[in-house]
Structure 1
């Protein structure tokens, strides 16, 4: 059995352009779907957050309208409640990459607030990239890639093809025009090649050991690709 590290946001809000704190955290499906796939394949999941704080789920991600109806919402909530590892996270700052076979970052707007500027996360991402170990990042999780800056100021992921939550999706979700910055734009500015698919449809991009997904619907297919790399 291998260990897979889940690096999750430690915040419960995203600060908008006007200073308003939008309640958020991690997106339930983006943690649940990969968790279920990885544990079903016999892997152990360890959760890490900045400071070791227990991650907050975005309440919006538990709503029936984003889970295919009440049944889907109940299933996601039950699956999330069964993820005991979320309640006992390790400190991201103390993580030793040697202990893990792969690293995965779920999204939600939380990473836009903390992981996008987290030095420990940035170092871990660069180390994982260099190690060749599978690295999965989905939806707003790629905000964390922005912190992976090399000594010369360039981004370690510059030149990589990625999928990430698009500007079109952010605008359609109602927060695009209120955001301080947009993820797709910032990734492009950092030198990454964003391969945008249709809004809300699954879109997974594989480039070397990096596997990225565009949105919540991409979480399960991303997990499949990550497991292929682990095999």
Structure 2
């Protein structure tokens, strides 16, 4: 049984342009759906966060209206409760990539606050990309790619095609006009090629060993692509 590393945000807020703190963390579905798929395939999950802090779930991601109703919300809540690994994360700074068969970054607005500027995460992403191991990132998780800078100052993901939470989705969610910066725009500025799909519809992009998803509904199909790579 191989190990898959979940790299998750360690914050419980996202600082908006006016300085207010928007409560957030990781988005439940983006962790639960891949977790279930990977565990069902026999893989062990290890969670890592900056400093080894216990990750915070975005309470909004547990609401019925973002999970297709009460039944869906209950299913996500049950899945989250089963993720006991969340209670005992390791420090991101102590991760040894050699211990893992794949690396996965779920989203939520939290990565916009910490992983986007986290040097240890940036180094891990560069190493994971160069290793050829499956590297999967979903929704706001691609904010972490902004910290993946090589010695020459270039972004390691420049020229790669990715899916990420779009400017249109951020606007429709009501936070586009309040954000310090928008993920899609910042990725493009870094030289990353963002392939934009329809808002809220599944959109998974595979470019070499990198697998990315646009939004929460992309989480399950993203996991399928990772498992396909692990068995190839």
Shorter-chain-normalised TM-score: which range?
over 0.9
- For residues 80-136 of structure 1, the C-alpha deviation after alignment (integer angstroms, 9 at most, x for no partner) is 011000000000000000000000000000000000000000000000000000000
CA drift of 1:137 comes to 0.1
Aligned residue for 2:229? 229
What are the residue-to-residue correspondences of 1:11-160 with 2, within 5 Å?
Answer: 11-160=11-160
Q: Which residue of 1 aligns with 2:170?
A: 170
Q: How far apart are the structure 2 equivalents of 1:24 and 1:109? A: 6
Question: How far apart are the structure 2 equivalents of 1:104 and 1:135?
Answer: 6
Report deviation, 1:153: 1.1
Shift of 1:217: 0.2
Instruction: Report how far residue 12 of structure 1 moved.
Output: 0.1
Report the 3-state secondary structure (helix = DSSP H, G, I; strand = E; otherwise coil) of the residue aligned with 2:61. helix
- The Cα of 1:152 is off from its aligned counterpart by 1.4
SS in structure 1 of the partner of residue 177 of structure 2: helix
User: Matches of 1:199 and 1:129 in 2, distance apart?
Assistant: 27
Cα shift at 1:167: 0.1
Q: How far did 1:151 drift?
A: 1.3
Runs of 5+ in structure 1 lacking a partner? none
Q: Show structure 1 runs of 4+ deviating over 3 A.
A: none
After TM superposition, the structure 1 = structure 2 runs for residues 166-205 of structure 1, keeping only pairs within 5 Å, are 166-205=166-205
Q: Distance in 2 between matches of 1:79 and 1:195?
A: 30
* TM-score (norm: length of structure 1): 1.00
Figure out how many residues of one structure are paired with residues of the other and give that number. 231
Q: CA deviation at 1:77?
A: 0.5
Q: CA RMSD in A?
A: 0.3
> 1 CA distance for matches of 2:56 and 2:64?
19
Q: Secondary structure at the match of 1:178?
A: coil
Aligned with 1:177: secondary structure? coil
Rounded to whole Å, the distance in 2 between the matches of 1:72 and 1:216 is 13
